[in-house]
Homo-oligomer: A and B are copies of this chain.
């Protein structure tokens, strides 16, 4: 179901109750909101989904609710994020209990890893599952940048089926797209860069995984459709509007990266009535006061309230 996947696949947030447990009602609302807005797929248990904050039980809870609510309407990619190979394999066993369409895997982290060890990591994982494996290239979190040539080689050899690029390295992404095309397009190449989706569409991305797409999925769907139709002026206008909305992630600048970014999306969805509130996973701080007000203003400005 993910083989020819293109378009907008938001990395689904994980709403929480006041006691820190997963808010199943809010998650249900969010999944429906996204699908009703026309997104092409869902990526659950990614960084935006606070995957590294959730216990194994909570991760399963997210998978259960999401797959039940989505009910096959769109494909579901699931992050199986853990530090090293064997721990990822355990996460895959848990994820495979649910009807997901692909898994998304980072390079090992915590310990510095050489590239041939990274290769062993992806090969071992691909050999252990029938699900398509997507590489999650997120050096800011894991400390390793996956080179374009490596990714394409893994694609050609059938180890990897796709890439979610959150590296912030657009030169690298263009090299990936071009090398992938030259190799017969074994990989689906998605960008996680939510403020340059028009640009990435222009250079040949198969789609985008925008965190901000939790807040304004319809905007990203319009942007993508305009780009596919060759209406680049409209694509840019939509992206400029979304880039302005994205300023929300810079409002709570004293908080950690997770709390400021994901926290601003949660604050927006709370204002929009999709979430009950903007609780973050411990130890991330929820956004309050002036920063929250500025975020809500941006949401209003974007016509979402």
Contact = CB atoms under 8 A, between A and B. Distances in A.
Interface in A198-247: 198-200, 202-204, 230, 232-233, 236, 239-240, 243-244, 247
A193 B170 CA distance: 9
A108 interface: yes
Most buried by B among A112, A169, A204: A112
Contact of A195 (B20, B56, B174, B283): B174
A21 B20 CA distance: 35
Interface string A159-171: 0000000001111
Interface in A282-303: 282-285
Contacts of A232: 202, 230, 232
A178 interface: yes
A282 B121 contact: yes
A142 B141 CA distance: 9
Given A168-B169, A199-B199, A199-B203, A87 B53 contact: yes
A86 B54 contact: yes
A270 B186 CA distance: 37
B282 A83 contact: no
Given A54-B86, A84-B52, A232-B230, A255 B114 contact: yes
A121 B283 contact: yes
Interface in A134-163: 140-142
A203 to B, nearest CB: 6
Interface string A97-126: 000000000001111111011111100100
A196 interface: yes
A195 B171 contact: yes
Interface of A: 20, 47, 52-56, 58, 81, 83-87, 90, 108-114, 116-121, 124, 140-142, 168-171, 174-175, 178, 193, 195-196, 198-200, 202-204, 230, 232-233, 236, 239-240, 243-244, 247, 254-259, 281-285
Given A52-B87, A196-B203, 8 more contacts: A20-B86, A53-B87, A81-B110, A85-B283, A171-B193, A196-B199, A203-B236, A204-B236
